[in-house]
Chains A and B, each alone.
Chain A
Amino acid sequence: DAGVIQSPRHEVTEMGQEVTLRCKPISGHDYLFWYRQTMMRGLELLIYFNNNVPIDDSGMPEDRFSAKMPNASFSTLKIQPSEPRDSAVYFCASSSTRHLDNEQFFGPGTRLTVL
């Protein structure tokens, strides 16, 4: 298995532009998580899905952020409009309820820079 796949790996955009981050979880995993990591705030859980359904989006900073999971193999995190304070590394992770230990597998991350 290729592991969790994220694209793009790097994104540089200007303030006000729409940004879409993509994630392909490990096949067969039924949980998908979106995290944001910054030096100041550490690793923050933004939203997570179970069987494609959003379970907890309390970590989503504001209405500019939205996430979807149209099927078991694809999820997007969208920021519209983007702001400089959104600059961070965004990680996607997946896990399986077959693994009762909740071990999460992380993607390589998308480094977002908003100018």
Chain B
Amino acid sequence: SQQGEEDPQALSIQEGENATMNCSYKTSINNLQWYRQNSGRGLVHLILIRSNEREKHSGRLRVTLDTSKKSSSLLITASRAADTASYFCATDAIGGSSNTGKLIFGQGTTLQVKP
């Protein structure tokens, strides 16, 4: 089955450092998305990268996509204590040639940023 797998499962860094999280998936995609989940809250969409894109930026976030390796990375630069959260990648589930409408989420990376 198409399943995003994040690496590492947990990451602890000091404020100001960069945090890099990786995601691998198994099948063809139209796009890959990253979501953030603060403790006790629902997931919030951060950024989307399409299959024909290789890199995308949004503020302190940088996402890369390598469709040949079926992998993506999320870089958070100059991290802050408020970035402490879990981060999930999600891929759209292509059913044949059609868009099924659903996303396949990975297991997530738990990021702790120490002040």
Contacts and interface: CB of A to CB of B under 8 A. Distances in A.
B60 interface: no
B31 interface: yes
B101 A50 contact: yes
Contacts of A93: 42-43
B35 to A, nearest CB: 8
Contacts of A56: 100, 102
Interface size class for chain A? 20 to 34
Interface in B67-115: 88, 90, 92, 99-103, 105, 107-108
Contacts of B43: 43, 91, 93, 104, 106
B42 A102 contact: no
Given A31-B101, A97-B101, A101-B33, A109 B108 contact: no
B101 A108 contact: no
Interface size class for chain B? 20 to 34
Contact of B105 (A43, A103, A105): A43
A106 B44 contact: yes
Contact of B101 (A48, A91, A105, A109): A48
A103 B33 contact: yes
B42 A108 contact: yes
A101 B50 CA distance: 9
B101 A102 contact: yes
Nearest to A45: B102
Interface in B3-61: 30-31, 33, 40-45, 48
Interface of A: 4, 31, 33, 42-43, 45, 48, 50, 55-56, 91, 93, 95, 97, 100-109
